[in-house]
Amino acid sequence: KLRNEIHRMGNRMHICTIELLLGTGIRVSELVDIKLKDIEISERKGLLRILGKGNAYRTIPLNKDVRKAITRYLEVRPQVESEYLCIGQRGALERNAINLILNKYGDRVNVKVTPHMLRHTLGYKLVKTTPLTTIQQILGHDHVATTNIYTLTTQQDMELALANIEW
């Protein structure tokens, strides 16, 4: 709902923001630190270099939705001296600006959302089909035990499992 609403409203920076958060699982602090030189995009692939916790770099592949969102945003990004990707009316965006953007759309569709919830959304989605060590690398966790939280069964998982039983 949230992603659809952001796309429907058409603000390319907001679309870029949601696609980066959902499509890469980066932390909000990592998002606001992205510099133009950290992004490589070609026709068929893309890479994002992230400086994560503990000053450790990781490289995250960009799927087509993220590549498209970044490319479309760069077409309208203000022509300023800043090396940062996300530019608002007063310069490079900060953490609180990302929260305000998400809250604005969350209120419109009646969904409580934080940037970290989007990170968790990706983690939970990946855990169904992806090895834990791969998710660990994507999310930049030092220990696989941190990534393991995405394997925990939710109440919704249990309800769905039991609802689909046929005798």
Active site members: 27, 53, 116, 119, 141, 150
Instruction: Tell me if 94 sits within 8 A of 32, measured CB to CB.
Output: yes
Q: What's the rounded Cα separation, in Å, for the pair 138 and 123?
A: 9
Contacts of 142 (CB under 8 A, 6+ apart): 53, 54
CB count within 10 Å of CB 9 equals: 12
Which residues pair with residue 84 across a beta bridge? 35
What sign results for the dihedral spanned by CA atoms 145, 57, 41, 29? positive
Element at 144 (helix H, strand E)? helix 144-147
